[in-house]
Amino acid sequence: MKQKGAFSRLSTYMLKHKLLYTVLLLITLFSIVLDLTMAWFLARITDAAVRMDVEAFSGLAWFGGLFLITAGVSSYFSAYLKINISAKIRNELRLDLMNHTLLLPQSYFDRNHSGDLLSRFTNDNQSVGEACGQVMIDLLRNPLLAVASFAYLIYINWLLALICITMGPLLYLVGKVFGKAMRKNSVQVQENMSRTTSFLNDILGSSMVFKSFSIERRLMKQYKGYSDSINAGEQNRGRIEGATGALSSVLGNLTFLLALVIAGYFVAKGSLEVGAMIAFIQLMNYLVMPFSALPGLVASMQQSLGAAQRIFEVMDAPAEVEALPEKQMQHPEFEQLNLSEVTFSYPGAGKLSLNQASLELPQGMQMAVVGPSGGGKSTLFKLLLGFYNPDEGEILINGQTVQGMSLEQLRSHFAYVPQESGLYTGSIRENIRNGRQDASEEEVIEALRQANAYDFVMELPEGVDSEIGEHGSRLSGGQRQRLSIARAMLKNAPILLLDEATAALDNESEKMVQQAIRKLMKDKTTIVIAHRLSTIQSADVILVMENGEIVERGNHEELLAAEGRYYDLYNSQLEQEETEGKEERSTNEEYGDKQGALLTPS
């Protein structure tokens, strides 16, 4: 999308505020009239002083007072309207961006960094807002002020006006050269900001990781690199702005002196009044100032259009559905789920993540999926939930291909318990209600009870109103999982997709979570991704996935008897658990011995 495209897209937002823009434009025109009046007023005062006309001063003082009040009021409304319009447009853009972001497919989030998205919501949005208010009006006002001043100058003395306007293009040239450098610089600073936001987003969201790995120094060094690059860009901007300011000021002063010398000459010759000379000098400022300001304004408009382009890029990314779901669908009929030779590879990935996967899941069946890391277990869930579509093969619910269903309808069949609990900042009640928004208080409490979460929630000072922090950071891992289970229970969908957390919980916590999972699975059709094989021995069917293929299927006994991949996995895990058990026992004994030694008097 070209910047022109960004501008026309942006104008649709601006046109919604035609009335406000019209008022703002009228005030802007009025402020130009006020500027010219100022020049006229200076001329009148000077003439009265030269003529020693004392009587004229009381009238002039009244006029001056009125002028100041009018200018003040006009300046207030101009500033207020500029901010008002730009805030409204920023708000509308933010909402549209959020609305579209929520409609984007999972593949978009897999490809793009959340920090980059964040900077489009913040930095870019801010920059576009400025363009629609201050920058836009200044871009209109400056040329108009220059033209009006020039007309007035010609009225005072056309020869003088023509001599003085020669400075204008010179100032414009300076502004243009530096404006280009400024634009390049601001694009660079914006990119560095976006990189830094992405970095901060990663780091600040995982404080426990950097603390536990003691990588604070490395992170500090990395952040210093990012921060220094922003600093270098800003220092550079200082140099560019300094040079522009210095050159503009030299040229401005030169213009002033030129105007003074030439006008003085005309006064000395008797062809110009002193008052007119003062007005002339003032008008000269109005005439040449816009020339130096314009290139900078054009540069910042271009920068803002770049920012708008980044926002529209997200809005143009294909959405997975056309509109946000009206409400959560409930209790769809369910008889059977089938996967028929489903093959899939992630966009851009060279290899298959699912290869000819077929399965049959009738109502009430409890299915477990196991296998080595990277085998395709989570990918299977992603396809079931409609995050991605199969490249080949079909997914069918009740014999009907899911391709023909709306995503809302498809997802209403599943209650998903992800590996990371996926809780949001907010209260426990708000988080549980994400399972079903219209759930009553009793239903929320019942879900908490079923998920073995009720007791710990009630022990919190504010019960279900307790805030759980970023991603539930104020809770333990097991507590987070139980809340995630309660949320799924409340949804009460026919098929439960459970991605067992790999994070080790302590025995007590694990028992509570397992209990909650069992209650959740009761009478439910379930597919569980299991990392601990001990938890899924009673499953009706166990699928073993490797390199995207279902390489074995059967129940626990059948698979053990077959002595294949499951048998190997099971035995290696058993061995591992035994070794860990031994290590744990010996640690406890050692610890016990030490305690004993400490307690035994020597």
Site residues (CB under 6 A) for ligand ATP? Answer: 110, 346, 349, 353, 373-379
Q: Please, which residue, 430 or 546, has the CB nearer to ligand ATP?
A: 546
CB of 390 to ligand ATP, least distance (A): 14
Q: In what order do the strands lie in the sheet with 392-397?
A: 354-362, 336-344, 392-397, 400-401
Distance CA 585, CA 591 (A): 10
Amino acid (1-letter code) at residue 559 = L
Quote the distance between the C-alpha of residue 314 and its chain's center: 10
Token digits for 302? Answer: 């271009």
CB of 375 to ligand ATP, least distance (A): 4
Between the CA of residue 544 and those of 218, 221, 425, what are the distances in Å?
A: 40, 44, 36
Q: Please, which residue, 98 or 209, has the CB nearer to ligand ATP?
A: 209
Kindly tell me the sign of the dihedral angle through the C-alpha atoms of 467, 469, 473, 478: positive
Which residues does 55 contact at the CB level (< 8 Å), separation at least 6? none
CB of 118 to ligand ATP, least distance (A): 20
Going by their DSSP bridges, the two strands 400-401 and 392-397 should be labelled as antiparallel
Q: Please, which residue, 372 or 469, has the CB nearer to ligand ATP?
A: 372
Token digits for 124? Answer: 């870019």
Kindly tell me the sign of the dihedral angle through the C-alpha atoms of 96, 97, 102, 105: positive
Q: Please, which residue, 32 or 539, has the CB nearer to ligand ATP?
A: 539
CB of 309 to ligand ATP, least distance (A): 26
Q: Please, which residue, 108 or 256, has the CB nearer to ligand ATP?
A: 108
Q: Please, which residue, 377 or 413, has the CB nearer to ligand ATP?
A: 377
CB of 419 to ligand ATP, least distance (A): 7
Q: Please, which residue, 44 or 377, has the CB nearer to ligand ATP?
A: 377
**For the chain, what is the radius of gyration of the CA atoms?**
36
CB of 371 to ligand ATP, least distance (A): 6
Distance CA 312, CA 6 (A): 7
CB of 346 to ligand ATP, least distance (A): 3
Distance CA 316, CA 319 (A): 8
CB of 231 to ligand ATP, least distance (A): 35
Strand pairing partners for 496? 415, 526
Q: Please, which residue, 266 or 388, has the CB nearer to ligand ATP?
A: 388
Q: Which of 492, 478, 552 is nearest to 522 (CA)?
A: 492
Amino acid (1-letter code) at residue 201 = N
